[in-house]
Chains A and B, each alone.
Chain A
Amino acid sequence: MRNRPQSLLKYLLAFSTVALVFAIAAQAQSALQQPATKSASSQPAPKRDLTGVWQYQGSGGADSMTADKDMPPMTPWAKAKFDAEKPGYGPRGAPGGNDPILQCDPIGFPRIMFMPTPHEFVQAPGRVLQFWEREHEWRPIWTDGRALPTDADPTWYGYAVGHWESDDTFFVESTGFNEKTWLGPTGFPHSEGMRVVERYHRVDHDTILYDMTVTDPMAYTKPIVAPQRILKLKPHEEIEEQPCVWSQENEFAQRIRNPATPKPVK
């Protein structure tokens, strides 16, 4: 009888050891069978490749490039334009505003980057194409070595050139913007002299860290540096056709939006 507790202890020890070994083996086996369960984001980024549909991780609504309080001081020219705008959002938001996108005027760049709908990169010879689901818009980012023009005709989406700074960071510069677009939903203006610099840093297979700086001395006394944003890959997705159709937008506004908009509180 004196030996029974000792043998029981040995038995328990042996059993628990075996059980532990099995547990470890099972976990290892599981890891071998499903190497990606540690989330696809642990996969490294492919080199010099932004191909795919990407989703800006924002508020879920239309965001400004940076918070109003962080905007640098405006020049008198810009302040006059700003004061004349009647945005639908922000501290000055009011119904019946003059935000050009309400009548389906192009959203333009860079405002379109902070919309809650995805965009897609397609890489082709000599250019990277960027497609936005919203408005069914797109722009070519020329990668054929051409210089940024000094006299580009002003357009809604600008003229962009890009190059790879490294295997995982794509650098884009753009100019040639008309001044008809707002920088965001609260009505900040920009001039035709605006120049935008962006960095798309693909840190892993599913993640881009996105930085943007707007330089526009005619409108702002300092560059506008947007907070870094995250873009996430949406594999197996295709962007939809979503043009802004004024006749439908107008009909919607007449029937629903305008009657529903509350009167401003004074």
Chain B
Amino acid sequence: MATHVAAQQPAPKPAPPAPKRDLSGLWHYEGTGASEPIAPDNLIPPMTPWAQARFDAERPGFGPRRAPGGNDPILQCDPMGFPRVMFLNTPFEFVQVAGRVIQFFEHEHEYRSIWTDGRPLPTDADPTWYGYAIGHWESDDTFVVESTGFRDSTWLGSSGYPHSENMRVIERYQRADHDTILYDITIIDPMAYTQPIVGPHRILKLRPRDEMVEEICVPSEEKSFADRVAEPAMQKPAR
């Protein structure tokens, strides 16, 4: 009987092997289906007093401290920023050209250039929302990205964890097969956290027949949504 049942479910075909040094395509993070923090609360290392003060002042719309009338900057269409944009349920796309890999994020119609022309990471980059990134291939299947030059206006996730302008991010995109990237991220920010934040391993899957849609956060529409729908719908927090 067991053999008969097993025969009705043939093993899925393995994906073809990964092309060498190529991340081109639309990728989707297989997470919870909602936006996630960079790491669960129990993996966030202790904050410095500077960061703790900032954290305590934030009023997130999600998580144990959620409350209406929050100050999450994305509620008024401030850029979500990097790396928070990596942990959403919307896809991103890699396009590889001479001298750079461009990473487009469907959320907010944003993008960043990951420079692959051999330039060093700058030590004095102007702080921006999406940072300054350089990348290189560690091997034929693993692309390493380092980035710096981030404004400290963005949150690391929807529960309000802060970061400083000194944040440095290291990512590894390992293309395990044609359809799969194993993704690792580490944040080093001694001004905010006493140890690096090491995100859990994540899986990104290729979506070969999809194209990104234009999804722009429009302040006039976001505000009117917040006034009409989101604010009235939020429950008062339990005290």
Contacts and interface: CB of A to CB of B under 8 A. Distances in A.
A247 B78 contact: yes
A136 B112 CA distance: 10
B181 to A, nearest CB: 19
Nearest to B76: A247
B219 A105 contact: yes
B214 A243 contact: no
Interface in B99-138: 102, 104, 109-111, 126, 128-130
A100 B128 contact: no
Interface residues of A, number: 25
Contacts of B110: 136
A122 interface: yes
Contact of B130 (A105, A123, A129, A241): A241
Contacts of A105: 218-220
A246 B129 contact: no
Contacts of B111: 131, 136, 138
A131 B76 CA distance: 24
Contact of A247 (B24, B73, B96): B73
A100 B220 contact: yes
Interface in A121-169: 122-125, 127, 129, 131, 136-138, 153, 155-157
A247 B77 CA distance: 8
B214 A156 contact: yes
A241 B129 contact: yes
Contacts of A123: 97
A104 B219 contact: yes
Contacts of B95: 124, 127, 129
A106 interface: yes
A122 B216 contact: no
Nearest to A244: B219
Interface in A210-266: 240-241, 243, 245-247
A241 B128 contact: yes
B213 interface: yes
Given A123-B97, A129-B95, A246 B77 contact: yes
A103 interface: yes
A74 to B, nearest CB: 24
A129 B102 contact: yes
Contacts of A106: 216, 218
A124 B76 CA distance: 34
A246 B78 contact: yes
A136 B130 CA distance: 11
B206 to A, nearest CB: 16
B69 interface: no
Contacts of B199: none
B219 A103 contact: yes
Interface of B: 24, 73, 76-79, 95-97, 102, 104, 109-111, 126, 128-130, 213-214, 216, 218-220
26 contacts: A104-B77, A104-B219, A105-B218, A105-B219, A106-B216, A106-B218, A123-B97, A124-B95, A124-B97, A124-B102, A125-B24, A127-B95, A129-B95, A129-B102, A138-B111, A153-B213, A157-B214, A240-B126, A240-B128, A241-B128, A241-B130, A245-B77, A245-B79, A246-B77, A246-B78, A246-B219
The 5 lowest CB-CB distance pairs between A and B, nearest first, are: A246-B219, A155-B214, A241-B128, A104-B219, A124-B95
Interface of A: 100, 103-106, 122-125, 127, 129, 131, 136-138, 153, 155-157, 240-241, 243, 245-247
Given A104-B77, A153-B213, 19 more contacts: A123-B97, A124-B95, A124-B96, A125-B24, A127-B95, A129-B102, A136-B111, A137-B109, A138-B104, A138-B111, A155-B213, A156-B214, A240-B126, A243-B129, A245-B77, A245-B78, A246-B76, A247-B73, A247-B78
